Structure formats: structure tokens, C-alpha cells
Amino acid sequence: MSNVVKYWKLQRYSAIANLILALWLAVSVICIQNNSFQETISWLKSPINALFLSMFFITSFLHMSLGLQVVIEDYISNILLRKKLIVSIKSFSWLLVILSILLILKIIIFN
Amino acid sequence: MSSDRSLKDRPLSPHLQIYKPQITSVLSISHRISGIFLSFGLLAMFVFVFLLAIGQDYYALWQCFSNSLIGEVILMGWVLALFFHMFNGVRHLFWDYGLGLSLSVSKWSGLFVCFATIIISIFIGIISLGLIL
């Protein structure tokens, strides 16, 4: 399978995953928006919330980097700049996905 | 991406300002703009978890932001962008299966996307202001 087809399919699969996870997030944010620090911590310590939030970060950062890549490919004509921007966004997304999961684990274990 | 040469030969996207705006084209560019705007929302979600993880004093910074007027406007903007991108994204998924591609159906589904986005955003705004539920 060529890279382009792989990206196209990944963008659609992550979109379907986000459909469920972003809806869950929207409902959750509405429920916890007036919570105190301790209440928010105990919300995140529930296994289902921690799992869904981690999955949300994975699929959303994937969907974001694929989406921004298409935008960059469409509007940035300088090939070198284009490649640099795409690599930066991908690295940045990976970094934030790993960091967010570590932060969620930190809250579960140490709070 | 095979080589730089073939990339250079590909055309860039046509410029928006030379076309007459229509619901289909306006929703198409709005999908991109809302997607870019939601990237910042995702970053904010990350900052939220980061502040929550490093302690109560830092989490207060988030509460400062989300309770301020400008914070509420930005958060509401993300709600609006999220549901627009979500509904219009479903429209795109149907198109990928070859469904609803005709001009009349895509106009109607576009209007439905706008309508559904506005209804759900008003609903969430009302809940967030504590007027119901």
C-alpha cells in the first residue's frame, strides 16, 4: 500500500475514533467544568476516563498531524520548507502524545 | 512522495478569492479553518492535563483562564468548531463512500451541518451558563 493511501485511510480511521472520543470528551467536559482540583483528579483516576483520555490524545494528535500535513502540502510551495514543517508537526505530535500519557499515568499513580 | 522533482510539478490549490462563495465551497474552507483552530484546542487540552498533573497551584491558572470572559469565549469557540468539524466530517465520510455527492444533496447536507452545529452549540452554551440541568 502506498504512503498516500495509508495516510488517507489513517485520516478516516482516526476520524471515526474521534467521533466517539470527542463526543465523550465534550460530555465529560460539560460534567466536570465546575469541579474543584480534587474532583477533577478523582475524575481522571477512574480507569475508563484515563483510558478514554489517553486514546483521545493518541487519535486526535494523529488526526491533527495528518490534517495539518494536507493543509501544508496544499498551500506551501517551497518543498524544503514544506518538508521541514511536516516533520516538525509530526515530531511535536509524537512528543505531546507520549508526554500526555506519562502525565495521565503520573496522576493515576501519585495523586 | 517519490522525489522533489515530481512534487514541484504538482499544482498548488486554486486561490479562494477568484471564486464566487457558495455553501459547498464556504463549508469546505471552514472545515480546514475549524480543523486548524481545533489544533489549538487540542494543545489546550494538553496544557489542561499538564497543569492538573503538576499540582493544585498550577491548576488554578487553568481555572483563571476558563472562568474569565475571554476564556469562556475561546472555549465556546472550540465547542462550535468541534461540532462543526464533527458534523461536516461525517458528511465527508459519506462522500468517501460515494453517498450524497450530487449538488442538491450536498447543499442540503451542508445546510443541515450548519443547523445542527448552531443548535447543539446553543444547547451547550445554555448548559454551561447553568440555566438548565
CA proximity to B107, closest of B28, B36, B35:
B28
What are the structural domains of chain A?
3-110 (1.20.1300.10)
**Please, are residues A101 and A54 in contact by the beta-carbon 8 Å criterion?**
yes
CA distance A11 to chain B (A): 10
Is the ipTM value over 0.85, yes or no?
Answer: yes
Give the pLDDT confidence score for residue B128 in this predicted structure. 86
Coil/strand/helix, residue B6: helix
From B36, B56, B93, residue closest to A37, measured CB to CB = B56
- Per CB-CB distance under 8 Å, the chain B contacts of A106 are 53
State the Cα–Cα distance between residues A24 and A36, nearest whole angstrom: 20
Give the pLDDT confidence score for residue B20 in this predicted structure. 82
Query: In whole numbers, what is the pLDDT of chain A averaged over residues?
Result: 94
Average pLDDT over residues B101-121: 96
Give the pLDDT confidence score for residue A3 in this predicted structure. 85
Give the pLDDT confidence score for residue B1 in this predicted structure. 47
By C-alpha distance, the chain A residue nearest B96 is A12
CB contact under 8 A, B90 and A19: yes
- Per CB-CB distance under 8 Å, the chain B contacts of A61 are 42
Give the pLDDT confidence score for residue B132 in this predicted structure. 65
The predicted-structure confidence for B75-91, as pLDDT tens digits, reads as follows 999 999 999 999 999 99
State the Cα–Cα distance between residues A60 and A27, nearest whole angstrom: 17
Cα angle value B64/B40/B125 (rounded, 5°): 60
User: What's at B80, amino acid-wise?
Assistant: L
Give the pLDDT confidence score for residue B133 in this predicted structure. 61
pLDDT band at A50 (very low <50, low <70, confident <90, very high): very high
Give the pLDDT confidence score for residue A43 in this predicted structure. 96
pTM for this entry: 0.90
State the Cα–Cα distance between residues B123 and B110, nearest whole angstrom: 20
The predicted-structure confidence for B1-56, as pLDDT tens digits, reads as follows 445 666 667 777 667 777 788 899 999 999 999 999 999 999 999 999 999 999 99
What are the structural domains of chain B?
34-128 (1.20.1300.10)
pLDDT at B94 over 70: yes
Query: In whole numbers, what is the pLDDT of chain B averaged over residues?
Result: 90
CA proximity to B117, closest of B30, B25, B29, B39:
B30
